[in-house]
Amino acid sequence: MSPYRPVVRHPVFGRVLPALVLSAVGDGMSAVAVGWLALELAPERSRGLWVGLAVAAYALPGAVGAVVLAPALRGRSGAHLAGLDATLRAVFLGAIGLLAACEALTIPRYIGLLALSALLNAWGTAGRYTLVAELLPKELHLAANALLTAIAEASTVAGPALAGLLIAVLGAPAVLTIDAATFAVLALSFRLVRPVPRAGPGAERAAGLAVIRHDRQLLRLTALSAGFFLLFGPIPVAVPLFAGSAAEVGLLYSAFGVGAVIGAVTVGQLRRLPLWPVTIGAVLCFGLLLVPLGLGLPLWADLLTLALAGLAWAPFPAASTALFQRAVPAERLPPVLAARSAVLVLATPVGTLLGAPLVHTAGPAATFVLCGAGTVAVGCVALVVHLRSRVPRVDRELQATSSSTLR
């Protein structure tokens, strides 16, 4: 039997999935609408600055919220956290549409509302994966994580195309209003999920970053993820300059998205994957597949390469999250995952900022090669550290076996 069947048919988790799919499509549309509306509202002389601020405002506040709001949010169930994030998104994205309809939306107000809508982003992500750990047995965690990844990646294929059509007909504010409505549906669906009983009052006192810092496995995994996302940061800067037209940009992103969906669905079918080798292998394969993009190959070869890169990328979020779910008890998982999300939310924009001068100086093709080589180097370091960490464990097991035999 497919491992997806018990996940989809779970009496609680299965009720949330349709709303997650709907909200993911709305988020895919907002990926286009956020920048486009900023372009329309910003003064002509400083459009680039305001568009960059809008894109950053839709993501970076989540890192601030992960730290500042931790004392207030620790101890809540996964459904509660995800519901709070969805509610905040619905309220403030809806306010953007309302102000636009009243002709009262200015670019500073727009940036402020986007920032407020994203304040619980890290906690919302943590809540979704905590819900997986709370509701499903350990053997289904990888399949459920892979399903969430597949939903997110599929939205990057369908959402932008749908957004282009709706913006042309209804305008960008209407698209953000539709996204707000999808988040409202998601918030209601999480509201209907019965909160899972939490552990005793002392279980949640440790801050997420403190838990990661004192656990070598989680610290290594967070460092690997941060390095991976940091080196991915320059890629969105390089792709528009690498492509010959806007249509080619869409094709390149779609090829990656299709490969990622296939990869996520496939990895979820494999019940007994060794999680650390899969996580490190995804980093290595992704880095190796970036390098051919800098070799001047025909368009069809670049599309195939990006599809394979998406295929390689997809196991990483599912397997790395499953490692956290196995290492941390469910009652302590939300602040830990929120702290991890905060690190990753910062890593990609920092990589983008560092990658912009690299793309300008070396060109997009060389950027692909350098980022690919750097990603492979990060994967190799992670592999060496992982293998070295296994040696003492194997030695201890052999000593224990020898002692029991002598007795």
CB atoms < 10 A from the CB of 306, how many? 25
36: its two tokens: 């486009």
205 band by pLDDT with thresholds 50, 70 and 90: very low
* Pairwise CA distance, residues 226 & 374, whole Å: 13
Q: Annotate 346-384 with DSSP letters as a single string.
A: HHHHHHHHHHHHHHHHH-HHHHHHHHHHHHHHHHHHHHH
Quick one: DSSP state of residue 330? G
> For position 227, what pLDDT does the model report?
93
**pLDDT, tens only, 81-123:** 899 999 999 999 999 999 999 999 999 999 999 999 999 988 8
Q: Annotate 92-141 with DSSP letters as a single string.
A: HHHHHHHHHHTT---HHHHHHHHHHHTTTHHHHHHHHHHHHHHHS-GGGH
* Pairwise CA distance, residues 254 & 260, whole Å: 10
> For position 48, what pLDDT does the model report?
64
CA-based nearest residue to 78, from 11, 143, 126, 149: 126
Phi-psi domain of 79 (left: phi exceeds 0; alpha: psi -120 through 50; beta: other): alpha
Burial of 350 (0-12, 13-18, 19+ CB in 10 A): middle
Of 145-149, 187-191, 234-238, 402-406, least confident by mean pLDDT is 402-406
Residue pair 205/334 in contact (Cβ under 8 Å)? The answer is: no
pLDDT at 209 over 50: yes
* Pairwise CA distance, residues 64 & 326, whole Å: 26
User: Helices 172-191 and 13-41 sit at what angle, rounded to 10 degrees?
Assistant: 160
Return the residue matching tokens 């905060």: 342
Burial of 7 (0-12, 13-18, 19+ CB in 10 A): buried
Q: How distant is the alpha carbon of residue 167 from its chain centre? A: 25
In the chain, the percentage of residues whose pLDDT exceeds 70 is 89
pLDDT at 406 over 70: no
Averaged pLDDT for residues 185-197: 79
> For position 78, what pLDDT does the model report?
84
Q: Annotate 35-76 with DSSP letters as a single string.
A: HHHHHHHS-GGGHHHHHHHHHHHTTTHHHHHHHHTHHHHTT-
> For position 196, what pLDDT does the model report?
55
Q: How distant is the alpha carbon of residue 238 from its chain centre? A: 20
Residue pair 133/336 in contact (Cβ under 8 Å)? The answer is: no
CB atoms < 10 A from the CB of 336, how many? 26
> For position 66, what pLDDT does the model report?
79
Residue pair 299/39 in contact (Cβ under 8 Å)? The answer is: no
**pLDDT, tens only, 365-402:** 898 999 999 999 999 999 999 988 876 554 454 454 44
**pLDDT, tens only, 73-92:** 877 888 898 999 999 999 99
What's the N-to-C CA distance of the chain in angstroms?
44
